[in-house]
Amino acid sequence: MLKRLLSACLLTVPLVAAPALACADDDAPHVRLETSEGNIELALDAEAAPQTVENFLRYVEEDFYAGTVFHRVIPDFMIQGGGMDAELSPRDTHAPIALEKSGLENRRGTVAMARTANPDSATSQFFINLVDNDALNYRDLYNPGYTVFGHVVSGMDVVETIAATPTGRQGPHADVPREPITILAVERLD
């Protein structure tokens, strides 16, 4: 089962204390994801993952995420969004970025970049870990993991609500919420 989840995760197409960042939350960029289920606030770690945070904030500043959906929801694993509309049509993105070894781990409540099997293929899609996902951490060149670049500071209850939504198949996509969960806006708070 975990192997299926991990291989599915390679395709782009938490109410406990948040994990510590390399920099203090006060110094970290913060963003608010306004979703159809409520708001989620993230602290981004520009010290540990500078290119990834810069990439994510570029999409935020361009208002790219407005109207995208959480298109993959897998309880006890993660919720993924930020690249498709409600019909699961992908949006045009900037060129992919290189995988960063941020040193941060895929723990409950952390946010990481989604990508294809190519480690250097992340664009706009991200996921929020619902549990500690050690299998998604960097291990070696053959297991490069996924770049963690921040964590949820408020709204984990919203993340859990999204995680509990009924899902099904939509075309070739599995684990799609039956009712779209839309990102209405993403706003930088600092």
Q: pLDDT tens for residues 98-119? A: 999 999 999 999 999 999 999 9
SS3 2: helix
pLDDT per position as a tens digit, 129-170: 999 999 999 999 899 999 999 999 999 999 999 999 999 999
Closest CA to 107 of 141, 126, 90, 131: 131
- The arrangement of secondary structure in 2-188, i.e. its CATH architecture, is Beta Barrel (2.40)
Bridge partners (DSSP) listed for residue 110: 151
Q: Which tokens hold the place of 175?
A: 């684990």
Mean pLDDT taken over the chain: 90
pLDDT of residue 190: 81
Spell out the residues 6+ positions from residue 102 whose beta carbon is closer than 8 angstroms to its own.
Answer: 22, 45, 48, 49, 52, 147, 148, 149
Helix (H, G, I), strand (E, B) or coil at 153: strand
3-class SS string, the chain:
CHHHHHHHHCCCCCCCCCCCCCCCHHHCCEEEEEECCEEEEEEECCCCCHHHHHHHHHHHHCCCCCCEEEEEEECCCEEEECCECCCCCECCCCCCECCCCCCCCCCCCEEEECCCCCCCCECCCEEEECCCCHHHCCCECCECCCCEEEEEEECHHHHHHHHCCCEEEECCEEEEECCCCEEEEEEECC
pTM over 0.85: yes
Domain coordinates in residue numbering, the chain:
2-188
pLDDT beyond 50 at 55: yes
